[in-house]
Chain A
């Protein structure tokens, strides 16, 4: 019986969570507002970045239905994209329930960029459906490190091995770190299929190596194209082991020199004084016996 009640309650919560999504009250006026910016590539890509840092932690990847917060809508779903630009803008601006308002943390332009990006997802879907299936898996990647310029040159080639001449393939550069892959840059290829990234202040392991992965960051268009390789980009590093330091917080073996000398000095001084006093007393006694005789 008790479990039944709990499941009932759970279903109740789920129902509320479900219906709360449908209860967005968007004023008619807000629905009609239009995106003041034209949907340009720069807007879409900046919207994409804003999405990654502000929205992804709850909504997940658009179109993949992998929202991290169960109640968060998948903004890439066809249902969601039926909404008008104005409504999406209003939702981002005002927020509701678990979704916070972004009125203060994102500027007006940034919010519209987000709308542009979300809207672009709809177009992408259309392209995907009617798109060229043969495009997939056609490209391959290669990269080399140039020590003189301290940069990584990635080249995109098609199946025949000649450079991919269509510019604008986004190539992401990732470095392996202890808890995950760190993105250090994303460069679009030029006409000769090259994307060059200058490495600025990338920390290596002890031997001066990094594990670099490059991948084409447009899965829908080009499929999964990825290459991982370990390259040497720097000198041998020595990691400072704080346990080798002489410090007060360390163990007895790592006592600071000044403290060792101070301690030995004071203790030795006290002993010397005691011995001196004893010797003096002995002298007094000796003198006393001399006088008596």
Chain B
């Protein structure tokens, strides 16, 4: 019974997509000529008939009817909708070892380059300088989107632009986003940023097709945040930040496999052992957001804390 329902649901959504496909690939002119519909499925012999179609970038063009071909399953991909289901059977997780971070900021650099963020203005990863109290030791703490399993941000989105995938990643569809910034207000980790002005190199990337798994090109008036490098995971590669870190701070892996791999040493270990042996924790667990990012406490640190020549933070920064 349940399966039937699911199938029905799937059919429903595909039919909606089909409708969208029709609406977008065929311009208004073509819909009038009802006979043209058949030419979508099989190419006809060369005729002089032309029809107007709208490209994925929204330009209306005229082509010979016989050249029209339906792309079927590829429609979503073409429209930049991307993969809303995620990689099957995976549940991505990240472990951040605070003992190893020395604020090298390579992760930040790699991330900003990949996602076309404005340097020293927009960040998907922030390296926080932490000192809980006057007498406790300060440490650096990379903080990114926690990819919660109970995400407050997707609950508040009025247009279903931000969503959670089956493999645990929370993504944003910038082409749906209306810039209301409810999600920014809802996120307790302050992981989201807003494109207030025209993004960097806007003209250069104007013609580039939008990639939902990379959030590029960035769009003015929309929200952006860490994507766990969904485009890299698809290719079996570690995220940009994880790979860039020189100090073995980041571990990344699949919770279903119970394994995480270090970005610097490429060593793969059992996730459960790593968390148990090092007393791993998540941040703000009391909110019930169930983050996918775990932290290991800054114990046995390899590098001393030093920021702007100081060994501790100022009193007002605690």
Chain A positions near chain B (C-beta within 8 angstroms): 52, 56-57, 68-69, 100, 102, 104-105, 175, 177-184, 201, 203, 205-206, 239, 241-244, 247-253
Taking CB atoms, residues of chain A closer than 8 Å to B164 are 242-243, 249-250
Pick the contact of B89 from A56, A105, A206 — CB < 8 Å?
Answer: A206
B85 located at the interface, meaning its Cβ lies under 8 Å from any Cβ of chain A in the complex: yes
Question: B302, A100: Cβ atoms under 8 Å?
Answer: yes
Alpha-carbon separation in the docked complex, A139 to B174 (Å): 58
Alpha-carbon separation in the docked complex, A68 to B267 (Å): 14
Q: Given A68-B264, A241-B166, do A249 and B254 touch, yes or no (CB 8 Å)? A: no
For this complex, 12 residue pairs linking A to B, each with C-beta atoms less than 8 Å apart, are A100-B302, A100-B303, A105-B301, A177-B261, A178-B90, A179-B236, A180-B261, A182-B268, A182-B269, A184-B270, A242-B164, A242-B168
Question: A57, B268: Cβ atoms under 8 Å?
Answer: no
Those 3 A-B pairs whose CB atoms lie nearest each other, nearest first: A179-B261, A182-B268, A177-B259
Given A105-B302, A177-B261, A242-B166; 12 other pairs, CB 8 A cutoff: A57-B264, A68-B246, A102-B302, A177-B254, A178-B254, A180-B268, A181-B268, A182-B269, A183-B268, A203-B257, A239-B89, A250-B164
Taking CB atoms, residues of chain B closer than 8 Å to A244 are 6
Binds A, one of B29-37, B57-65, B146-154, B189-197: B146-154
Q: Given A100-B302, A242-B168, A253-B9, do A179 and B155 touch, yes or no (CB 8 Å)? A: no
Question: B149, A242: Cβ atoms under 8 Å?
Answer: yes
Alpha-carbon separation in the docked complex, A181 to B259 (Å): 10
Pick the contact of B256 from A100, A180, A203, A251 — CB < 8 Å?
Answer: A203
Taking CB atoms, residues of chain B closer than 8 Å to A183 are 268
Number of A-B residue pairs, CB cutoff 8 Å, is 87
> B311 to nearest A CB, angstroms?
15
Provide the B223-260 mask, 1 if CB < 8 A to any CB of A, else 0.
Answer: 00000000000001010000000111000111011110
Chain B binding surface SS class? loop
Taking CB atoms, residues of chain A closer than 8 Å to B165 are 243
Alpha-carbon separation in the docked complex, A201 to B253 (Å): 17
Instruction: Give the interface size class of chain B.
Output: 35 or more
Pick the contact of B236 from A102, A178, A203, A242 — CB < 8 Å?
Answer: A178
Q: Given A243-B85, A249-B155, do A69 and B246 touch, yes or no (CB 8 Å)? A: yes
Alpha-carbon separation in the docked complex, A252 to B266 (Å): 41
Alpha-carbon separation in the docked complex, A201 to B259 (Å): 12
B91 located at the interface, meaning its Cβ lies under 8 Å from any Cβ of chain A in the complex: yes
Taking CB atoms, residues of chain A closer than 8 Å to B300 are 104-105
CB contact list, B8-56 vs A, under 8 A: 9
> B159 to nearest A CB, angstroms?
11
B83 located at the interface, meaning its Cβ lies under 8 Å from any Cβ of chain A in the complex: no
Taking CB atoms, residues of chain B closer than 8 Å to A100 are 302-303
Question: B303, A249: Cβ atoms under 8 Å?
Answer: no
Q: Given A178-B253, A239-B91, do A57 and B166 touch, yes or no (CB 8 Å)? A: no
> A241 to nearest B CB, angstroms?
5
Taking CB atoms, residues of chain A closer than 8 Å to B267 are 52, 180
Taking CB atoms, residues of chain B closer than 8 Å to A182 are 259, 268-270
Alpha-carbon separation in the docked complex, A252 to B13 (Å): 12
> B257 to nearest A CB, angstroms?
5
Alpha-carbon separation in the docked complex, A105 to B149 (Å): 35
Question: B269, A243: Cβ atoms under 8 Å?
Answer: no
Pick the contact of A177 from B9, B166, B257, B303 — CB < 8 Å?
Answer: B257
Taking CB atoms, residues of chain A closer than 8 Å to B163 are 251
Count chain B CB atoms within 10 A of each CB in A57, A242, A244, A249 and give the residue with the most: A249
